Structure 1
Amino acid sequence: MSAPTSPADLYRHSLRLLLDKDIAAWVALFAEDAVMEFPFAPDGMPRRLEGKEAIAAYMRPYPDHIDLHDFPDVRIHRTTDPRTVVVEMRGVGLLVESGAPFDMTYVAVVTVRDGRISSYRDYWNPLAVQASGTGFTGGAR
């Protein structure tokens, strides 16, 4: 089965892949020249990843730090650009190292080109995970 191509369906598919902890398949949804940005990243953390390989390297350790169980509140808003959606959501699970609850709210602006994610701006609070002591500040994207 091929991946969906509408921005909303592609994003919903990406969330299923994250819950399955299939980071390789999640990264495969990105264009080779995709850009992932974290506008609220603290000093010393990446604010911009350029290219699929950089995104893959950043996300590869995600399941070792955050065990996602669900995205209970996902709202996808279409924009005047049919290639772009704005997503409000919540990710819940556990922090792997401590077993502490993980509950994060996200807002993402996602643009799709030719059936692949070309731009992903992730507006979340990396300080919340940083304070948990996991050392990982990668978002759910």
Structure 2
Amino acid sequence: MPTHPSPEELYRHSLRLLLAKDIPAWVGLWAEDGVMEFPFAPPGRPERLEGRQAVAAYMRHYPDHIDLHDFPDVRIHQTVDPGTIVVEMRGVGRLVQTGRPFDMTYIAVVRVEDGRFTSYRDYWNPLAVQQPGLDFAGSDAR
């Protein structure tokens, strides 16, 4: 019987891949039919991405827009479902186009099955996309 990383281990690994700007490896952590959702997406931004290919298209140019430096204050909460975690964290870095600081707070509800992300609901702050110079992942997926 194969062993898989725990949801927390998989999530922490995914953060290391984002910091390394290894988007193909990050996308490789997704189940083929995984779903990424943005419940607070403003008009013009995607609300739901269905399948690994849609997630890949959304994330492809992320490092061209945001240069992530760190994820301080990562807190991962277990739920009664062993495959589901709730994550509170900050992503900090700089906006590539303007050089301005990037500092975003995230809350995510993440489901993992067989060592792959199957569901990821990202409750990010939609007001942040109104900052000048912040046009990031998702611009291809509209």
Q: TM-score, normalised by structure 2?
A: 0.91
Q: CA deviation at 1:137?
A: 5.2
Alpha-carbon contact 2:58-2:137 (below 8 Å) kept: no
Residue identity opposite 2:13 in structure 1: H
1:56-71 equivalent positions in 2, closer than 5 A? 56-71=56-71
Q: CA deviation at 1:5?
A: 1.8
SS in structure 1 at match of 2:69: strand
1:13-28 equivalent positions in 2, closer than 5 A? 13-28=13-28
Unaligned runs of 5+ in 1: none
Residue identity opposite 1:93 in structure 2: G
- 2-side partners of 1:130 and 1:20: how far apart? 26
Cα RMSD (Å): 1.4
Aligned length: 136
SS in structure 2 at match of 1:88: strand
1:37-48 equivalent positions in 2, closer than 5 A? 37-48=37-48
Alpha-carbon contact 1:126-1:137 (below 8 Å) kept: no
SS in structure 1 at match of 2:17: helix
SS in structure 2 at match of 1:110: strand
- What does residue 29 of structure 1 align with? 29
- What does residue 88 of structure 1 align with? 88
- What does residue 50 of structure 1 align with? 50
Unaligned runs of 5+ in 2: none
Residue identity opposite 2:119 in structure 1: S
Alpha-carbon contact 1:129-1:137 (below 8 Å) kept: no
- Post-superposition Cα deviations, 1:17-39, rounded to whole Å, max 9, x if no partner, equal 00000000000000000000000
Residue identity opposite 1:92 in structure 2: V
- What percent identity do the matched residue pairs reach? 74
Q: CA deviation at 1:130?
A: 3.5
SS in structure 2 at match of 1:32: strand
Residue identity opposite 1:13 in structure 2: H
- Post-superposition Cα deviations, 1:77-98, rounded to whole Å, max 9, x if no partner, equal 0000000000000000000000
Residue identity opposite 2:37 in structure 1: E
